[in-house]
Amino acid sequence: MSSSRVGRQMIMSAMRVLITGAALMGTVTLASAAPVYVNSNTDFTNSPTTISFGGGQASYTFSYLGGNTNDIDAVATGGTAQVNYFSFFGQDMVVGFQIDSNIGATGYPFKAFPTAAPIPYSIAEDFIGLKFTLADGDHFGFAETLGSTLVGYGFESQINTPIIASERIGAVDVPEPLTLSLFAAGLTGMAALRRRKKASVV
C-alpha cells in the first residue's frame, strides 16, 4: 500500500473520530452555570442593532441619538427584557459590578423601555445591566457599548445567577474542557492508527 494512500486513510479515520466526538458533544449538558459572552463590535450609528433571547421572548435594540450631550445612545426593550444603567447611588455602571436581583435595592431597579430611552453617559465606554425572563426563569447579563458601537454582551445561562460586568467580551475565548478532551481523543486515535499502520507494514 502506498504511503500517500495510508496517509489519506489515517486522515479519514481521524475525521470520523472528530465528527463522532462533535456529535456526542452536542448532546452533553454542562452541570454548572456558565456565563456566555458574545463579541459583537456592531456600529449602530446609521441603523439600530437588536439582540434577542429565547427566540424573541426578550430583546434589546440599541440606536444612536447623537447630539452634543453625554447620552448619545439609546436602548429599547421588547418582551420580558429590562435594563439598568446605574450601580450605586446613581453612579455609572463600571467593570466589576455584579448584576443580579439586588440591583433594585440601590434605588435604581430594572426597567422596561418599550420606546428608545437615552443611555446615560454613553458617549464613553458604558455597561448596561440586562435582565430577561424566559420559560425557565430570570437571567442576568450586561451589554458593553463604546460610543455608537455595541462591543458585545454577556449573560448567565443559569437562572437567578449573578454575572460580573467585565471587558471579557473583548477577549479571546478559552476552549472548554470538553473541547480539549475531544481534541485529545482525536489525537490519540490518530496516534493509534499510525502505530497500527506501521506495525502492519513491518
| 118-137 confidence digits (pLDDT tens) | 887 788 888 889 999 999 99
Q: Among 20-29, 51-60, 167-176, 192-201, which range has the highest average pLDDT?
A: 51-60
pLDDT of residue 72: 85
The four Cα atoms 164, 170, 175, 179 give a dihedral, to 10 degrees, of 90
| Residue 19 scores a pLDDT above 90 | no
pLDDT in tens, 26-80: 333 333 568 899 999 999 999 999 999 999 999 999 999 988 778 889 999 999 9
The ranges assigned to domains in the chain are: 3-28+176-201, 35-170
d(CA 73, CA 70) in angstroms, rounded, equals 9
Strands 49-53 and 98-99 turn out to be unpaired
Give yes or no for residue 178 having a pLDDT over 50. no
pLDDT for the residue 150: 93
Count other Cβ atoms within 10 Å, centred on residue 40: 18
